[in-house]
Amino acid sequence: MAVTAVVNQKGGVGKTTVVLGLAAASAARGRTVLVVDLDPQANATTGMGVWNPASTIADALDTDAVGSIRAVVEPAGWPEGDGPIPHVAPSSARLAQSEHQMATDLIGAQDRLASALDGVAAEYDDVYIDCPPSLGLLTVNALFASDSVLIVAEPSAWSLDGVQQILRNVRRIAERRDGRPGVVGIVVSRLARTRDASYWHGQLSETYPELVLEPPVRLRAAVTEAAAQSVPVGSLTRDGAAAAALEFDALSRSVAPDAAAATPAASPTGGDGAPSSEPDVVELSPAGDH
Ligand SMILES: Nc1ncnc2c1ncn2[C@@H]1O[C@H](COP(=O)(O)OP(=O)(O)O)[C@@H](O)[C@H]1O
Ligand SMILES: [Mg+2]
């Protein structure tokens, strides 16, 4: 089991798309998945085909009960695929009010989500938290509840500043949590075939060579169409759908490696930067320079 927070303080960079792509790819690999929709805009919820849920993540966060998320989880409305249907803890606009209420909790403002997931996360192979577009209390709750962080970055001006700010916050929390969460990587998302996009992709890779994951997620009409239909992109037959699904499969294998591949004995070693088959979570040391 691993809990991964998918983070960027900017909206529209592709966080929800990456969460949905990872959920579908993990499930296709036979893994059980829980998506926690922590954005009041509820795009992951509707993207998973869940409309007007009976109860939501706001209800789970409002109560103080350990494991409270279990009562709000439901299966995605996705068509039957190869693997188990992912589950979702749905969101709604009311989550914005819960965030304000949480802020008045003097004792547990930061770890309400960790407590809600306690004992439930372990029932899944992969838990992905889709964060809202801010570094506010909801995202802080996601960081306190997660083992690792996946940063989604658009290849554009200012994205380097945004990544630096996220890494600073992650480091501050990791200092209080024995090194957790680590950073599993930066996925470059919505990569267009323009000179500008490849320039900023290059800048991100040069600045964070140990963190930028390959391949990036390219900008494709198939991805937009899948979102509009609330289905995984791999279930479409149109141009680009299979290629997009392959990108998410590769990303899923970096973020959540198969158990066998995680055995250190099976991994090539050496200081030459050869790819290791170990789950590659970078712990941010307090002395780190980014
Ligand atoms: N790889 C992609 N190709 C095409 N459209 C994309 C891609 N990634 C995201 N989008 C579209 O861009 C918009 C913003 O993406 P989204 O995942 O909702 O971002 P965020 O969750 O960061 O706000 C959505 O309309 C989404 O469908
Ligand atoms: Mg989103």
Report the b/e string of 232-249 with b at 16+ CB within 10 A. bbbebeeebbeebbebbb
Tell me, what's the pLDDT at 287? Answer: 45
Q: Which of 100-104, 146-150, 187-191 has the lowest mean pLDDT?
A: 100-104
CATH code, domain with 169: 3.40.50.300
User: In angstroms, how far apart are the furthest CA atoms of the chain?
Assistant: 53
What is the SS3 assignment for 235?
helix
Preceding amide of 215 cis, omega within 30: yes
Q: Which residues contact 286 (CB under 8 A, 6 or more apart)?
A: 171, 175
Residue from 190, 191, 239 whose mutation best tests the ligand 1 pocket (most atoms within 8 A of CB): 190
Residue 271 has pLDDT above 50, yes or no: no
Tell me, what's the pLDDT at 26? Answer: 97
Q: Which atom of ligand 1 is nearest to the CA of 43?
A: 18
Between 81 and 171, the more confident residue is 171
What CA–CA distance (Å, rounded) separates 87 from 35?
6
Residue 264 is assigned to a structural domain of this protein: no
Ligand 1 in contact with 189 (CB < 6 A)?
yes
Q: Which residues contact 209 (CB under 8 A, 6 or more apart)?
A: none
What CA–CA distance (Å, rounded) separates 89 from 121?
11
Is residue 256 classed exposed, middle or buried when 0-12, 13-18 and 19+ CB atoms within 10 A define those classes? buried
Is residue 184 classed exposed, middle or buried when 0-12, 13-18 and 19+ CB atoms within 10 A define those classes? buried
5: nearest Cα among 228, 175, 174, 233: 174
Cα angle 233, 235, 239 (rounded to 5 degrees) comes to 65
Q: Which domain holds residue 89?
A: 2-256
Protein residue with its CA nearest to atom 25 in ligand 1: 224
Residue 217 is assigned to a structural domain of this protein: yes
Protein residue with its CA nearest to atom 11 in ligand 1: 224
Ligand 2 center–CA 133 separation, angstroms: 7
Ligand 2 center–CA 48 separation, angstroms: 13
Indicate which ligand has the atom closest to the C-alpha of 219: 1
Ligand 1 in contact with 243 (CB < 6 A)?
no
Contact 157, 200 (CB under 8 A): yes
Tell me, what's the pLDDT at 260? Answer: 63
Ligand 1 in contact with 98 (CB < 6 A)?
no
Ligand 2 center–CA 274 separation, angstroms: 34
Tell me, what's the pLDDT at 266? Answer: 42
Protein residue with its CA nearest to atom 2 in ligand 1: 219
Q: Identify the band that residue 282 occupies on the pLDDT scale cut at 50, 70 and 90.
A: confident
Residue 226 is assigned to a structural domain of this protein: yes
Residue whose pair of structure tokens reads 């009562």 in the numeric block = 71
Tell me, what's the pLDDT at 235? Answer: 94
Residue 273 is assigned to a structural domain of this protein: no
Residue 262 has pLDDT above 70, yes or no: no
Contact 233, 21 (CB under 8 A): yes
68: nearest Cα among 16, 120, 144, 104: 120
Between 76 and 287, the more confident residue is 76
DSSP H stretches of helix in 29-91: 43-47, 57-62
Ligand 1 center–CA 216 separation, angstroms: 14
162: nearest Cα among 6, 3, 7: 7
Domains of the chain: total:
1
- pTM reported for the whole predicted model: 0.92
What CA–CA distance (Å, rounded) separates 236 from 248?
14
Contact 37, 61 (CB under 8 A): no
Residue 62 is assigned to a structural domain of this protein: yes
Q: Which residues contact 115 (CB under 8 A, 6 or more apart)?
A: 64, 66, 68, 108
Q: Identify the band that residue 152 occupies on the pLDDT scale cut at 50, 70 and 90.
A: very high
Ligand 1 center–CA 44 separation, angstroms: 11
Tokens of 90: 């749905």
Protein residue with its CA nearest to atom 3 in ligand 1: 219
Q: Identify the band that residue 285 occupies on the pLDDT scale cut at 50, 70 and 90.
A: low
| Bridge partner list, 148 | 4, 182
Tell me, what's the pLDDT at 286? Answer: 58
Residue from 17, 45, 150, 188 whose mutation best tests the ligand 1 pocket (most atoms within 8 A of CB): 17
Residue 287 is assigned to a structural domain of this protein: no
pLDDT digit string, tens, across residues 100-133: 999 998 888 999 999 999 999 999 999 999 999 9
Tokens of 55: 């109860």
Protein residue with its CA nearest to atom 16 in ligand 1: 14
Q: Which atom of ligand 1 is nearest to the CA of 191?
A: 1
Between 269 and 260, the more confident residue is 260
CA 39 to chain centre: 12
Ligand 1 in contact with 44 (CB < 6 A)?
no
Residue 168 has pLDDT above 90, yes or no: yes
Helix (H) or strand (E) holding 74: strand 74-75
Q: Which atom of ligand 1 is nearest to the CA of 244?
A: 1
Residue 263 is assigned to a structural domain of this protein: no
Residue 288 has pLDDT above 50, yes or no: no
pLDDT digit string, tens, across residues 10-49: 999 999 999 999 999 999 999 999 999 999 999 999 999 9
Residue 267 has pLDDT above 90, yes or no: no
Ligand 1 in contact with 15 (CB < 6 A)?
yes
Q: Chain-wide mean pLDDT for the chain?
A: 91
Residue 281 is assigned to a structural domain of this protein: no
Within 10 A of 259 (CB to CB), how many other CB atoms are there?
A: 9
Tell me, what's the pLDDT at 109? Answer: 93
